Structure 1
């Protein structure tokens, strides 16, 4: 899955998408990449491309074939539906985004430690306020953050000794990637488990009809 704002409604049909699994340096072929075509893009039906802060910033990609799991490609663990992590829960963002506001995109995959900022704090006056919805999760606010180019990437959080994908990178402040009291905002994955399951079930039903 990824963010809806990485696509437009027209993009679902007008472009041919490719997913690269196991990549580390996007400027070189390292021999462990898996190149996968996409058979369908599912944007959340409530997504509004004119209002990223409105929420619903999540999309699912259906691969045309199965991936091969190995040391470089693994399945991401999903959280239980509705789970909300406590303040300062340890998490890491990863991506190829800009390394600073206005900077260059990174060729190599990078990660940054972004502890959770609870909703009460993140939605308070002087922070993000009402811009942040219950279906989002904030993380960071210290010396590191997400930035342009990280959108759609994961926020992996340590929960009960396991790493779980709790967020999909959504947006940062227009004042800069690491603006004061403006932690990186993610789509909260646990708010969309039911929707993801419904898409998965409908896709399987469609396969049965084609058989």
Structure 2
């Protein structure tokens, strides 16, 4: 059976990472809802001629996103963004100085994995109560089945629906690889270097690509455990086809080496 995939386009832990000054509302609401403003202070909007993808601030001058998001020559990131239709005051717009796509990424084979990229900013973001980096997980760490994590972004509210104008969040419980790789789920299209989450009535959708899968650690800090990669071609909320994320914990050596070299 040929599965149609849809891309969702339209290191050392940083000190002080993963602790929002404005705490997110994490009541176990499955359906997506508007996020509390600035409660995900590492979320960025990646923009060229228009907003295209999301991303995660992992250091004052580094953003993590998906490789498939990089299709233009010039990008900027906008931090402290909440309402896309309003200039609210705390936004920081910074040009991207360097785009580094994982060397094994193949844009003709998203299910081959390695859908990850690093963006070096022209200048460091000003860290504040509204702009803070997320923590990176330890290399190789695994998430437990049904672990509550949250996706954030300005993607479409549902397949074929309008894009969100304000930052949305949705609870996406982790689906263990042993389940997600079953033949009636994603099968061989999902690899050990990926994370599945959701698969019920909420998922990522077009425009959420590159954004974070946010999971809270035992230390109470928030970690970017996934980079939003793809959903099923039949729609964003297809049963047994949870959102697939690049598993950040599989790429910590590459992230660390890339940031050190550049």
| TM-score after normalising by structure 1 | 0.92
**Aligned mates of 2:83, 2:111 — CA distance in 1:** 31
**Aligned mates of 1:20, 1:158 — CA distance in 2:** 24
Counterpart residue number, 2:6: none
| Number of residue pairs aligned between Structure 1 and Structure 2 | 198
**Aligned mates of 1:175, 1:88 — CA distance in 2:** 24
Counterpart residue number, 1:83: 141
SS across alignment from 1:172:
strand
**Aligned mates of 1:193, 1:46 — CA distance in 2:** 15
More strand by share: 2
Equivalent residues of 1:57, 1:187 under 8 A apart:
yes
Counterpart residue number, 1:119: 177
1:177 aligned onto 2:222:
no
Equivalent residues of 2:195, 2:245 under 8 A apart:
yes
Residue-by-residue CA offset, 1:156-203 (whole Å, 9 max, x unaligned): 012203211100000000011010100000000000000011101111
Structure number with higher relative contact order (C-alpha < 8 Å, ≥ 6 residues apart): 2
Per-residue deviation, 1:28:
1.4
**Aligned mates of 2:193, 2:177 — CA distance in 1:** 10
SS across alignment from 1:130:
helix
**Aligned mates of 2:261, 2:129 — CA distance in 1:** 31
Equivalent runs, 1:2-13 vs 2, <5 Å: 2-8=65-71, 11=72
1:149 aligned onto 2:207:
yes
- The alignment's C-alpha RMSD in Å is 0.8
After TM superposition, the runs of 4+ consecutive aligned structure 1 residues lying more than 4 A away are none
Equivalent runs, 1:125-144 vs 2, <5 Å: 125-144=183-202
Counterpart residue number, 2:91: 33
Unaligned runs of 5+ in 1: 204-211
Unaligned runs of 5+ in 2: 1-63
Equivalent residues of 1:89, 1:158 under 8 A apart:
no
Per-residue deviation, 1:71:
1.4
SS across alignment from 2:258:
helix
More helix by share: 1
Equivalent residues of 2:185, 2:240 under 8 A apart:
yes
Equivalent residues of 2:200, 2:238 under 8 A apart:
no
| TM-score after normalising by structure 2 | 0.74
SS across alignment from 2:65:
coil
